Amino acid sequence: MRRPRLLLDLLPYHPADGGFATAVHHLLASAATFTDIEVVGVALEASAPRLRQFGPRIVAIRAPTKSRHYVGLTLLPVVARALRADSLHAEVGPAPVGLGVPTSVTVHDLHVLSPTGRPPIGLAGWHHSLYWRRLYVASLRRASSYLTTIYAGIAASMHNAARGSISARLEM
């Protein structure tokens, strides 16, 4: 019997993203110790070699680095079906629509949604508003569960949420 498969959306990952990058590294190192679920990361081809050093299997997607915030929104439903994923966890950004499996999203902080915070001007501001205020918030509303990094460790929370999502789905 195959172990339940958790897909990690690592497509928005970039090694220069500070806390987000550190969270991804710790998550992968912890996920490498899981024995009851199979963890498979999906990352851009440019990031895959760095992420593979942490242990779990990483599937590389060839796409421009500048598209990293949006490529998963269109490709992940196809990848999830091809890999027969039982659940998906979006660690850094929004989970896409139409996955057909339970999703979880990590909330690192919500400063991007602050009414007093001003998004950048120009194209960067348009990206900020579209990605964080529209797509990310919609993703939180759709998610089967969301995790915060305030009260619990990322990996422990993600593992428990994934096991719960997968268990609920398998019992249906």
pLDDT tens per residue, range 55-71: 899 999 999 888 888 78
Per-residue pLDDT of 23-50, as tens digits, reads 889 889 999 999 999 999 999 999 999 9
Q: Determine which helix (DSSP H) or strand (DSSP E) holds 49, and give its type and residue range.
A: helix 48-52
User: Residue 172: inside a domain, yes or no?
Assistant: no
Higher pLDDT, 118 or 163: 118
User: Residue 81: inside a domain, yes or no?
Assistant: yes
Residue 112: predicted pLDDT: 59
User: Residue 58: inside a domain, yes or no?
Assistant: yes
Dist. CA 147–CA 167, nearest whole Å: 18
pLDDT at 5 over 90: yes
Domain that holds residue 26: 5-164
> Into how many domains does the chain fold?
1
pLDDT at 168 over 60: no
Q: Look-up: residue for tokens 């999830």?
A: 80
Please report which confidence band the pLDDT of residue 155 belongs to, taking 50, 70 and 90 as the band edges.
very low
User: Residue 171: inside a domain, yes or no?
Assistant: no
Per-residue pLDDT of 9-24, as tens digits, reads 999 888 888 888 888 8
Residue 48: predicted pLDDT: 95
**Residue-wise burial string across 58-95, b where 16 or more C-beta atoms lie within 10 A, e elsewhere:** bbbbebeeeebbbbbbebbbebbeebebbbbbbbbbbb
User: Residue 118: inside a domain, yes or no?
Assistant: yes
CATH number for the domain spanning 41: value is 3.40.50.2000
Residue 8: predicted pLDDT: 92
User: Residue 92: inside a domain, yes or no?
Assistant: yes
DSSP 150: T
User: Residue 107: inside a domain, yes or no?
Assistant: yes
Per-residue pLDDT of 66-86, as tens digits, reads 888 878 888 889 999 999 999
Tokens of 14: 């970039």
Dist. CA 44–CA 63, nearest whole Å: 6
**Residues 3, 163 contacting (CB under 8 angstroms):** no
2-11, 21-30, 160-169 — which is least confidently predicted?
160-169
